[in-house]
Amino acid sequence: MELWFTEKQTPEFGITAKIRETLVTEKTEYQDLALIDTEEFGRMLVLDGMVMTTVKDEFVYHEMAAHPALVTHPDPKQVLVVGGGDGGVIREVIKHPQVEKAVLVEIDGKVIACSKQYLPEIAGQLDHPRVDVQVGDGYMHIIQSKDKYDVIIVDSTEPVGPAAPLFERGFYQGIHEALKEDGIFVAQTDNPWFKADLIQKVNRDVKDIFPIVRVYGANIPTYPSGLWTFTMGSKKYDPLEVEEASVPELDTRYYTPRLHRAAFVLPRFVEDLVK
């Protein structure tokens, strides 16, 4: 008998993957958590029925969430990751030697524990000496932090459940206050095929707060539509002014010095969303 997992990305559309083995199914304090081993994408972390990451394609999201902002900022010493309990963004952050401390604030400790056990290739740097892992509310951490971070990366789920406040204008205002005077933040902002309204709203809100706002994209096959966007807000530094020669050669599989600026070249229908 074959077993398949299907994520309904809209009420009328979804993706499906053949399951080799179910490793974890648990209802945590915050969400339904599952860890399944799939034939095509390997081990897959699923929260509330949505694919969060897979062993096969995780590097795209995690590299693109971290490196564009960290390369744009000339000296990112203090970095905050909100969410991201799987540890993938943290793994990428500490590839930058300038980073003295990377703080991870994840609301659901079960995600961290499950990732450490079943996704070691993703979560393997959560115990790094430059990493401070905190189980708590990222929204409150932001509100309680003032002029503290050089770079803030919001690695949230889609805007439902505990992640919903992370897409509100007040949260972006809090991020602005938590950043130093030349700080940068980046957040995943879903896909333009099914969530065009969300991208437009986030873009408007961030533009009201930050003088420099840029949207960039990446191809992530297990995320809705495969075309994923990130929104960057910067107080001072423009990612489009980064010279290719100044981008360090990092141990990456997707992000490269040439890709840095290319990622900000959007299809016209996405450009139209963020004008």
Candidates 57, 86, 150, 155; catalytic one: 155
Question: Is 183:235 a contact under the CB 8 Å cutoff?
Answer: yes
Residue 218 exposure: Cα atoms within 13 Å on the Cβ side? 26
User: Which residues does residue 151 pair with via DSSP β-bridges, in sequence order?
Assistant: 79, 184
Give Cα separations from 174 to 85, 117, 146, 251 (angstroms): 21, 33, 8, 32
Active site residue 272: no
Per DSSP, the three-state class of 257 is helix
Classify residue 253 by its DSSP letter. Answer: S
User: Residue 216: which of 173, 252, 187, 237 has the closest Cα?
Assistant: 187
Give Cα separations from 233 to 9, 86, 117, 236 (angstroms): 27, 24, 34, 9
Residues belonging to the active site: 155
